[in-house]
Amino acid sequence: MVDILQPPPFPVADWAFFLDFDGTLVDIAPHPEAIRVADGLTGLLEDIRRVAGGAVAVVTGRMLADLDAYLHMPDLAASGVHGLERRGCDVIDPGEREEARRALSLIRDCASGLLARYPALQVEDKGEAIAIHFRSAPEKGSEVLQTMTRAADTANGTLSVLNGKMVVEVKPSAATKGAAVEAFLAQPVFAGRRPCFIGDDVTDEDGFRVCKARGGITIHVGPDTAETMAEYRLPSPDAVHRWLGQLVSTDLGAVE
């Protein structure tokens, strides 16, 4: 882990851009459905995709259907549920997904039990992953993590627990953002490019790891006190928009 004290270098058109969503392209909200998509974000992503020759993908913990409802870009390369859902690259082996799906039944029961005891929690059932948000009851975070970890441990390695920003999520172990990035980089539109991953949470560290191993650019979004393996920092989603916008401005200047 390194301290993030410097802003990232100027974006380059022949990089491959991998972008987290919540906390990176949009501000974190008290509940997942309460986010606000900034005016112009979809247009910015369209412009970045054009300038970068299509080498742009959103890599998020949300389901792709949820992401599409906010961005209205159904043809955008994207990975949902931390790499489980993929559009524009190879998918995870169906057998692994089915095994994890069966193991999630106990997790679902545990989540329901926690919600019954603490109604301030919010359970987000993604079908093949389950997240419990405790932003409205932060004092319950430790109990949520312990309960979900114990349940996931019974799945013999099939399931993994992510401890994110006011959320604990249980997902198939085969699904990681790093694996999704590797799958994208094997596709012609991304292949041979320097990867650039931008994210804000512990769930993005796998993406940072893969990009660093390939000599890429890794950018953490948020305070410089955060512990991360990323090399650069941007303070907020607005700063991410401005940084990405430099790539579009450069392209327009070249045309003029």
Q: Give the pairing of strands 77-80 and 85-87.
A: antiparallel
Taking a C-beta distance cutoff of 8 angstroms, is the pair 51, 14 a contact? Answer: no
Cβ contacts of 225-228, under 8 Å, gap ≥ 24 = 226/4, 227/1, 228/1, 228/2, 228/4
Three-class DSSP category at 57 = strand
Taking a C-beta distance cutoff of 8 angstroms, is the pair 26, 38 a contact? Answer: yes
Q: Which of 3, 14, 20, 153 is catalytic?
A: 20
Nearest to 182 by CA among 213, 145, 228: 213
**138 secondary structure, DSSP code:** G
Q: Is 201 among the catalytic positions?
A: no
Catalytic sites, residue numbers: 20
